[in-house]
Amino acid sequence: MHNGGKIILGLVIFLILITFPVWYNVANDRAGYVPELEKAARGDNCVRDSSYMTGFHMDLLNEWRDQVVRQNDRWEVGNDGVRYERSLSNTCLNCHENKDKFCDKCHDYMGVVPYCWDCHIVPKEIQQ
Amino acid sequence: MSVDRRKFLKLAGVTALGLAGGAPAKVLAQDSVTPDTLKEVTEATATPKAPLVARRWAMVIDLRKCREAGDCNDCQKACHLAHNVPDFGNPKDEIKWIWKESFEHAFHEQEHEFLEDKTKHGPAVVLCNHCDNPPCVRVCPTQATWKREEDGIVMMDWHRCIGCRYCVLACPYGSRSFNWRNPREFIKELQPDFPTRTRGVVEKCTFCDERLARGQMPACVEACKAGALTFGDLEDPNSEVRKLLHEHFTIRRKPGLGTQPEVYYIV
Amino acid sequence: MLEKALSGDKRYWSWVAVLLIVIGTGTLFYLRQYHEGLTITGLSRDVTWGFYIAQFTFLVGVAASAVMVVLPYYLHNYKAFGKITILGEFLAIGAVTMCMTFIFVDMGQPYRITNVFLHPSPSSLMFWDTISVFGYLILNVIISQVTLGAERKGIAPPNWIRPIIILSIPWAISIHTVTAFLYSGLAARPFWMTAILAPRFLASAFSGGPALLILFCFILRKFTKFDAGKEPIQKIALIVTYAMAVNMFFIGMELFTAIYSNIPEHISHFEFLFFGLDGNTTLVPWMWTSMILGIISLILLINPGTRKNETVLGFSCIILILSIWIDKGLGLVVAGFTPTPLGTVVEYVPTFPEIMITVGVYALGLLIITGLYKIALSVRKQVTT
C-alpha cells in the first residue's frame, strides 16, 4: 500500500478521536451513571411496569395521544387492574408530581427535549 | 400480568360509588380509579361520570334570551377559562372559540335597512358550527381536523396540525383562530386538566369533547345564566334541541353554502 | 457537472457573494420568526395568508411557464428553441425551490411537514399541490440533468428521456391548475370561487414566466457569450403577447360578472382593490398601477415595431412582470380575505421582517438559477465575453 504507514496511522488516530466519548467516560468512572429518579408521591403501581416504562414510555404516550384525541378512547385498565385516564397531566403527573426531579433527570442527561411540555401542563408547577 | 384478586376487589368496591353507569362501552367493565390515585385538581376532573353520547350533536341558541342578558359574556369566559384560551389583548393575534358578534356580521346576508331594531343592534353568539359537510375538514392536508363519525363533532388534533391555515380559509364562518405566537404567557388562569396549545397551530371550539366524555355539558352551555344555549342530540326526537327546533322558527348561518351547520338560532 | 458552478470570474463571485449575504440576512429574520412565531408578520386572525403565499402563487406560474419553450421544441420540433429549453427548465427548478421555501417559511409548524406525506388526504388540494409541485421539481431535475449531460458529451439524449419530457408538459399545466384549485374550491371565499381562476392563472403564468425568460436571455447576452438569438426571443415575445392578451381579457371577464351582477359578496372585493372599502385603501394604488402597466405592456407587445425593438421589449417585459406580480400576488391573496366572511375589513400590510424573509428566499432562488445557468453555459463553453 502506497503511504501505508501514514494511512494506518491516520485511521488509528481517527478511531481514537471518534470513540472519545466512550473511553473518556469509562476512564472517569462515569460509564455506569444512571440518573436517580424521585419516587412517585402516591400510588403503589403504575399503568405499566418500570422496565417497560423506562424503554417505551414514549410509545405509550404516542398510543395514548392517538387513542384519546383521535378515537375518543380515554380510559384503560393498567397492568395492575386499576382503571386509569389516559393523560400525561392528570394521570402520570398525578403520581410523578415533580417533573424536574423525575422526567427531566433522564431527559437532561440524554440531551432530549420533548415538546410535550409546550402544551401539556405540569399541575404542580401552577399551584401557588 | 397477574393481579392480586383481593386488592382488585377492594379497589372495585371503593370506587363503585363514583360511577353513575360505568365506563365507556369500549373499555372492559372494570372499575374506576380510586380517589387516592386520581387527584382532584378541579371539580371538572373529579370522579368520572358516564360520558354523554349522541349520534349528532347540535346547539340551539336563543338570541332573544341572549339579548335580554345585556352585557353578559359568561359563555366566552367559561369556555376560554376551561380551555386555556389566551388573551393577547389585540385583534391581530386574537384567539376566540365562542364570542358575541353583532347580528349584522353574523348574518349579514339577512340584514336590511329596516330590520327590527332589537335584532339589528342585538348580539349573536357565534362559534364553530360543527357542520355536517365541513369544508375545513375537506381541505386539511394532514387530517388534523376531521368529523367524528359517532357524534358529528368536528375535532382538532393539535399534535398533527402543521399550521398551514388552509382550514381558516375554508371556514365560511370565521370560527377558527391561529396561534401566531406562544400562548402560554397570555393565559390568565391555567387549568391543568386541559392542555394549552403551542404557537403555530389552528384551534377552535370542539363542543367540549373532553367534558362530554366526563358526562358534563359544554362549558358555555353550563355557564349561560340566561339559558340561551341548548345542547343535545338531533337524532334523539325527545331531546331539548329537537323540541326547540320543533317549536320555534330557526335560522342557520350561510345556509346556501351547503355546509349544513349544526348551530341553530332562534331570532 | 455541478463543479462548473464553483468556478468563475470575479464578477460571478461578487454576484454570488451579494446573494449569499441577502440569503443570510433573510435567514436571520426567519430564525426570529421561528422563535417568536408568525406574529411578527402582518398576518392576523382575519387575513391568514399574505405576502409569502402571494409569492408562492406567482412563482408556481413562473415554474409552469417552462412548458412554453419545451412544448414547441419537443412536440413540434421548433428548432429555434433548442438552445433555451435548458434555461426554461433551470428557471423552473429555481422557481419551484422558491415555492417550496415560501411554503416552509409560512407554516406554523414547519417541522411537521412530513405529516402531509404520513397522513395523505386526497380530499385536500394542498396534498395534491405538494405532490404536483414536488414531482415537477424532480421531473425538471431529471430532464435538465440528462439533456445537458448528453450535450456535454456531444451526443443526442437517450430515447427514454423523451416520454419524461412529454410528461412534463401536462404536468406543468397541472401544477398551476392545482394551485388555482386551492383557491377556487372554497365556498367561503367568493372572490376566489370562480371557474375562471385556473385559466387566469395559466394565462398570467404563460405571459409572466416567458417574459422573465426573455429578461434572463438579455442578461446572459450582456454578461456572457451566450446569445439566444433574435428569432427565439421574438417567438417567445409573441407567446407572451398572446398570453397577456388572454390574461387581460380574463380580468375583464371577472370584472364584468362582478360589476354587472352587483352582488355585494362579489363586487365588494373588487371595490376594495380598486377604490378601497371602509376606509382601507392600502392596495388601491398598487392595483391601478398593475392595470395600467399591464395595458401599456400589452400595447407595446402587440405593436410589432415596439415588440421587435429589443430595448423596448425588455422594458415591456419588466412592467408586464410587475403588473402580474402585483395582481396575482398580493392583489389576489389579500382581496380574498377582504371583506372577511363576516363582512368586516381588516388591513394587511407586510411587515419589515416579512419582506426581508421574502427577499432572502428570492435571493436563494436567484442563487440556484445563477449556479444552474453557469453550469449550462460552462457546458457550452459560452461563459465569458
Contact B198 A73 (CB under 8 A): no
Contact B150 A72 (CB under 8 A): yes
The percent of residues above 70 in pLDDT, for chain A, comes to 99
Q: For residue B2, what pLDDT is reported? A: 53
* Intra-chain end-to-end CA distance of chain C, in Å: 21
Question: Quick one: which H or E segment has residue C174?
Answer: helix C161-184
Q: For residue A48, what pLDDT is reported? A: 86
Radius of gyration over alpha carbons of chain B, in Å?
A: 20
Q: For residue A124, what pLDDT is reported? A: 84
Q: Which residue of C has its CA nearest to B200?
A: C108
Give the distance, in angstroms, between the CA of residue C126 and the centroid of all CA atoms in the same chain. Answer: 18
* Intra-chain end-to-end CA distance of chain A, in Å: 72
Which residues neighbour C362 within 8 Å (Cβ) at sequence distance 6 or greater? C55, C98
- pLDDT tens column, C309-322: 999 999 999 999 99
Q: Which residue of C has its CA nearest to B201?
A: C108
Q: Domain spans of chain A?
A: 1-33, 42-128
Contact B32 A76 (CB under 8 A): no
Contact C109 B162 (CB under 8 A): yes
Q: When comparing pLDDT for A61 and B26, which is higher?
A: A61
Asked if A92 has any chain B CB less than 8 Å from its own CB, the reply is no
- Dist. CA B207–CA B151, nearest whole Å: 11
Q: For residue B12, what pLDDT is reported? A: 61
On whether the CB atoms of residues C206 and C239 are closer than 8 A, the answer is yes
In the numeric block, the cell 392528570 is attached to A90
For residue C41, pLDDT beyond 60: yes
Q: Which residue of B has its CA nearest to A42?
A: B37
- Dist. CA B232–CA B253, nearest whole Å: 19
**Nearest by CB: B209 against A72, A75, A85:** A72
Q: For residue C38, what pLDDT is reported? A: 96
Contact B173 C341 (CB under 8 A): yes
Sheet holding B57-62, edge to edge: B229-233, B57-62, B263-266, B250-251
Most confident region among A35-49, A79-93, B96-110 by mean pLDDT: B96-110
Q: Which three cell numbers stand for residue B187?
A: 393565559
Asked if B40 has any chain A CB less than 8 Å from its own CB, the reply is no
- Dist. CA B200–CA C48, nearest whole Å: 12
The upper half-sphere exposure of residue B236, i.e. CA atoms within 13 Å in the direction of its Cβ, equals 15
Interface test mutation site (partner A, options B1, B137, B216, max chain A beta carbons within 10 A): B1
Q: Which of A56-65, B115-124, B228-237, C116-125 has the lowest mean pLDDT?
A: B115-124
DSSP notation for A83-125: EEE--IIIIIHHHS--TTTTHHHHHHHHT---GGGGTS--HHH
- What phi, psi does C108 have (nearest 5°)? -75, -35
Confidence grade of residue B44 (pLDDT, cut at 50, 70, 90):
very low
Between CA C101 and CA C108, with CA C103 as vertex, the angle to 5 degrees is 120
Domains in chain B, start-ordered, CATH in brackets? 5-38 (no CATH), 57-266 (3.30.70.20)
Contact B37 A90 (CB under 8 A): no
By three-state DSSP, how is residue C190 classified?
A: coil
Mean pLDDT (chain C) is 94
- Dist. CA C262–CA C201, nearest whole Å: 24
Q: Which residue of C has its CA nearest to B163?
A: C108
Interface test mutation site (partner B, options A42, A44, A49, A69, max chain B beta carbons within 10 A): A69
Between CA B137 and CA B131, with CA C191 as vertex, the angle to 5 degrees is 25
Asked if C106 has any chain B CB less than 8 Å from its own CB, the reply is yes
Interface test mutation site (partner B, options A63, A82, A84, max chain B beta carbons within 10 A): A82
* Intra-chain end-to-end CA distance of chain B, in Å: 59
For residue A1, pLDDT beyond 70: yes
B190: chain A residues, CB-CB within 8 Å: 121, 126
On whether the CB atoms of residues C308 and C241 are closer than 8 A, the answer is no
Between CA C38 and CA C43, with CA C39 as vertex, the angle to 5 degrees is 85
**Bridge partners, residue B60, by sequence:** B230, B264
Contact B166 C182 (CB under 8 A): yes
- pLDDT tens column, C152-207: 888 999 999 999 999 999 999 999 999 999 999 999 999 999 999 999 999 999 99
Q: Work out the minimum CA distance from B196 to partner chain A, whole angstroms.
A: 5
**pTM as predicted:** 0.89
By three-state DSSP, how is residue A76 classified?
A: strand
**Nearest by CB: A75 against B27, B84, B155:** B27
- Dist. CA C323–CA C329, nearest whole Å: 10
Q: Is the ipTM of this complex over 0.90?
A: yes
- pLDDT tens column, C45-97: 999 999 999 999 999 999 999 999 999 999 899 999 989 999 999 999 999 99
For residue B95, pLDDT beyond 70: yes
Its sign, for the CA torsion B170, B174, B176, B177, is: positive
C-alpha distances in Å from residue C89, one per residue of B18, C144, C171, C376: 69, 6, 13, 11
Residue ranges, comma separated, of all CATH 1.20.1630 domains in chain C are: 1-184+351-385
Asked if C351 has any chain B CB less than 8 Å from its own CB, the reply is no
Q: Work out the minimum CA distance from B88 to partner chain A, whole angstroms.
A: 17
Which residues neighbour A89 within 8 Å (Cβ) at sequence distance 6 or greater? A120, A121, A122, A123, B192, B193, B195
Contact B27 A83 (CB under 8 A): yes
B44: burial class by Cβ within 10 Å (0-12, 13-18, 19+)?
middle
Q: For residue A32, what pLDDT is reported? A: 81
Asked if B133 has any chain A CB less than 8 Å from its own CB, the reply is no
- Dist. CA B89–CA B102, nearest whole Å: 20
Q: Which three cell numbers stand for residue A101?
A: 426531579
- What phi, psi does C323 have (nearest 5°)? -60, -45
Q: Work out the minimum CA distance from A54 to partner chain B, whole angstroms.
A: 18
B109: chain C residues, CB-CB within 8 Å: 265
3-class secondary structure per residue, chain B: CCCCHHHHHHHHHHHHHHCCCCCCCCCCCCCCCCCCCCCCCCHHHCCCCCCCCCCCEEEEEEHHHHHHCCCCCHHHHHHHHHCCCCCCCCCCCCCCCEEEEEHHHHCCCCCCCCCCHHHHCCEEEEECCCCCCCHHHHHCCCCCEEECCCCCCEEECCCCCCCCCHHHHHCCCCCCEECCCCCHHHCCCCCCCCCCCCCCCEECCCCCHHHHCCCCCCHHHHHCCCCCEEEEECCCCCCHHHHHHHHCCEECCCHHHCCCCCEEEEC
Q: For residue C91, what pLDDT is reported? A: 96
Question: Quick one: which H or E segment has residue C342?
Answer: none
Confidence grade of residue B46 (pLDDT, cut at 50, 70, 90):
very low
Which residues neighbour B19 within 8 Å (Cβ) at sequence distance 6 or greater? B31, B32, B47, B48, B49, B50
- Dist. CA C237–CA C242, nearest whole Å: 9
Q: For residue B72, what pLDDT is reported? A: 93
Q: Which residue of A has its CA nearest to B200?
A: A118
- What phi, psi does B20 have (nearest 5°)? -80, -40
Q: Which residue of C has its CA nearest to B183?
A: C37
- pLDDT tens column, C206-243: 999 999 999 999 999 999 989 999 999 999 999 999 99
Angle subtended by helix axes C352-379 and C85-106, to nearest 10: 150
Interface test mutation site (partner B, options A118, A120, A122, A124, max chain B beta carbons within 10 A): A118
Q: For residue B41, what pLDDT is reported? A: 32
Contact C125 B139 (CB under 8 A): yes
For residue B21, pLDDT beyond 60: no
A126: chain B residues, CB-CB within 8 Å: 190, 192
Q: Which of B82, B85, B81 is nearest to B177 (CA)?
A: B85
Q: For residue B67, what pLDDT is reported? A: 92
Contact A90 B45 (CB under 8 A): yes
Give chain B's largest Cα–Cα span: 75
Average pLDDT over residues B88-106: 95
- What phi, psi does B200 have (nearest 5°)? 95, 10
**Bridge partners, residue B229, by sequence:** B61
Q: Work out the minimum CA distance from B103 to partner chain A, whole angstroms.
A: 34
By three-state DSSP, how is residue C280 classified?
A: strand
Interface test mutation site (partner C, options B180, B204, B253, B260, max chain C beta carbons within 10 A): B180
- pLDDT tens column, C119-144: 999 999 999 999 999 999 999 999 99
Between CA B243 and CA B253, with CA B248 as vertex, the angle to 5 degrees is 105
Asked if B1 has any chain A CB less than 8 Å from its own CB, the reply is yes
Q: C381's torsion region: left (phi>0), alpha (psi -120 to 50) or beta?
A: left
Question: Considering the domain C1-184+351-385, what is its CATH architecture?
Answer: Up-down Bundle (1.20)
B27: chain A residues, CB-CB within 8 Å: 73, 75-77, 83
Strands B263-266 and B154-156: unpaired
For residue B9, pLDDT beyond 90: no
Q: Cis peptide before B261, with omega less than 30 degrees from 0?
A: no
For residue B172, pLDDT beyond 60: yes
Q: A46's torsion region: left (phi>0), alpha (psi -120 to 50) or beta?
A: beta
On whether the CB atoms of residues B69 and B228 are closer than 8 A, the answer is yes
Asked if A58 has any chain B CB less than 8 Å from its own CB, the reply is no
Q: Which of C187, C182, C320 is nearest to C245 (CA)?
A: C320
